């Protein structure tokens, strides 16, 4: 009897600027000591609002760092903002940020330091004081099947997630929530 083979095949473009859409996570890989570059054209300015423009990279393997630049693709030495902690990294642009009035595009670089990195990256707008359930599409974080989504929420505030079922889909749908910090039942 032959052994079964189970594998995942992923095709990615290396060293190419890829599109990033507000609220839609992208799963990708970055080779060791290289950037993967993204560009997001459509972003609202956050100047004069309570909105925050949030960039998050969530590594599945390795350590991915995130760099953001307003005027072109970022590098290790030429960037506007960066987050380079171990694990997931966040960049917030709010009304007090130097980039608050920038209308876009934003260029996002994901850098793999010590090894190849598999990750998810997302950019979304959060209005942390908005309590109305009839909110605009841009306040939703779009969930994609099989792509983990890292998010944070402050105590007594909300974030909204959206998952669209394919037409005619039958079967069970499972959601799981793993708290990395805090208790989701008390938020």
The tens digit of pLDDT for each residue in 148-184 reads: 666 666 666 666 677 776 676 666 666 666 665 566 5
Q: If we measure between CA atoms, which residue out of 45, 41, 40 comes closest to residue 55?
A: 40
C-alpha distances out from residue 14 to 29, 56, 186, Å? 8, 20, 42
Q: What is the pLDDT of residue 111?
A: 95
All structural domains of the chain = 18-162 (2.60.120.380)
Q: What is the pLDDT of residue 92?
A: 87
- 103 Ramachandran zone, left/alpha/beta (phi>0; psi -120 to 50): alpha
Contact call for residues 87 and 62 (beta carbons, < 8 A): no
Confidence at 52, pLDDT banded by 50, 70, 90: confident
Higher pLDDT, 17 or 132: 17
Counted residue by residue, the chain has a size of 187
> Which whole number is the average pLDDT over 90-98?
87
What are the structure tokens assigned to 9, written together?
A: 């095949």
Confidence at 58, pLDDT banded by 50, 70, 90: confident
Tens of pLDDT, residue by residue over 109-144, are: 999 988 999 898 989 887 654 333 333 434 566 676
Percent of the chain with pLDDT over 90: 24
């Amino acid at each position: 009897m032959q052994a079964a083979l189970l594998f995942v095949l992923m095709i990615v473009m290396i060293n190419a600027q890829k599109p990033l859409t507000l609220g839609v996570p992208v799963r990708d890989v970055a080779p060791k000591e290289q950037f993967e570059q993204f560009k997001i054209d459509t972003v609202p300015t956050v100047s004069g609002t309570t909105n925050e423009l949030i960039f998050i990279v969530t590594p599945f393997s390795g350590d991915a760092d995130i760099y953001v630049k307003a005027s072109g693709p970022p590098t290790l030495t030429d960037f506007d903002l960066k987050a380079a902690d171990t694990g997931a990294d966040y960049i917030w642009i709010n009304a007090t940020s130097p980039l608050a009035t920038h209308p876009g595009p934003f260029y996002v670089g994901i850098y793999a330091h010590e090894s190849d990195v598999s990750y998810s990256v997302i950019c979304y707008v959060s209005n942390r004081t908005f309590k109305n359930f009839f909110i605009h599409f841009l306040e939703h974080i779009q969930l994609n099947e099989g792509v983990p989504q890292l998010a944070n929420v402050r105590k007594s505030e909300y974030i909204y997630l959206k998952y669209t079922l394919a037409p005619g889909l039958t079967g069970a749908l499972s959601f799981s929530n793993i708290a990395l910090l805090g208790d989701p039942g008390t938020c």
